[in-house]
Copies of this chain bind each other. A is one copy, B any other.
Amino acid sequence: MDYSAQDLGPLFAPRSIAIVGVPRKDYRFGGLSYLMRLEECGFPGRLYPINPKASEIRGRPCYPDLDSLPEVPDLAIVCIPAASVPRLLEDCGRIGVRYIHILSSGFGETGTDEGRRLENEVSRLADRYGLLVVGPNCMGPYCPEAGLTAWGAIPGLPGPLGIISQSGGITQRLTEYACSLGLGTARAVSFGNGTVLSAPDYLQYMASEERVNAVAMYLEGVADARRFLAEAREACLQKPVILWKGGESEAGSRTAASHTGSLAGNKSTWKAFTRQTGIIRVRTLDEWLDAALAFCFLPRGMGRRVFLVGGGGGNSVAHADTCIREGLQMAALSEQTLGWLEENVPVVGSIPGNPLDAWRTFLDAEYLQGLLEAAFADPAVDLVMVDRLIPRKAYHMPHMPDPTPALIRFLSDRSASKPVIFTVDSEGGDPELAAAGAELRALFGRAGIAVYPSVERAARALARRDRYYRWRAGVGG
- Residues of chain A in range 408-434 having any CB-CB distance to chain B below 8 Å: 425-434
Q: Provided the pairs A167-B315, A396-B154 are in contact, do residues A438 and B442 lie with their beta carbons within 8 angstroms?
A: no
Known contacts A27-B399, A255-B357, A318-B285; A348 and B82 CB within 8 A of each other: yes
Query: Which residues of the partner chain B approach A353 to less than 8 Å between Cβ atoms?
Result: 254-255, 258
- Please tell me if A180 contacts chain B, counting CB pairs below 8 Å: yes
Shortest 9 CB-CB contacts between residues of A and residues of B: A167-B314, A259-B313, A180-B429, A249-B324, A169-B312, A434-B438, A435-B435, A252-B321, A177-B428
Tallying the copies of this chain within the complex gives 2
**Do A259 and B317 contact each other (CB < 8 Å), given the known contacts A254-B353, A312-B167?**
yes
Q: Are B173 and A394 in contact (CB under 8 A)?
A: yes
Contact of A313 with B251 at beta-carbon distance under 8 Å, contacts A394-B176, A431-B439, A431-B442 already known: no
The reply to whether A315 and B169 contact each other, CB–CB distance below 8 Å, is yes
Q: With an 8 A cutoff between CB atoms, is A170 at the interface? A: yes
Residue with the greatest number of chain B CB neighbours at <10 A, chosen from A246, A355, A441? A246
User: From residue A435, how far is it (CB to closest CB) to chain B in Å?
Assistant: 4
List chain A positions with a Cβ less than 8 A from chain B. Answer: 27, 82, 105-106, 109-110, 112, 154, 165-173, 176-177, 179-182, 218, 220, 244, 246-256, 258-260, 283-286, 311-318, 320-325, 330, 347-349, 351, 353-355, 357, 394-397, 399, 425-439, 441-442, 445, 453-454, 456
CA distance A179 to B456 in the complex (A): 23
Query: What's the least CB distance linking A35 to chain B, in Å?
Result: 15
Which residues does chain B contribute within 8 Å of A438, judged by CB atoms? 428-431, 433-435
Q: Answer whether A251 and B429 are a contact pair too, CB < 8 Å, given A218-B314, A246-B314, A313-B259.
A: no
Chain B residues within an 8 Å CB radius of A456: 284, 286
Chain B residues closer than 8 Å to A436, beta-carbon distance: 431
The docked-state distance in angstroms from the alpha carbon of A355 to that of B181 is 31
Residues on B with beta carbons closer than 8 Å to the beta carbon of A285: 318, 425, 427
Question: Are B427 and A441 within 8 A (Cβ)?
Answer: no
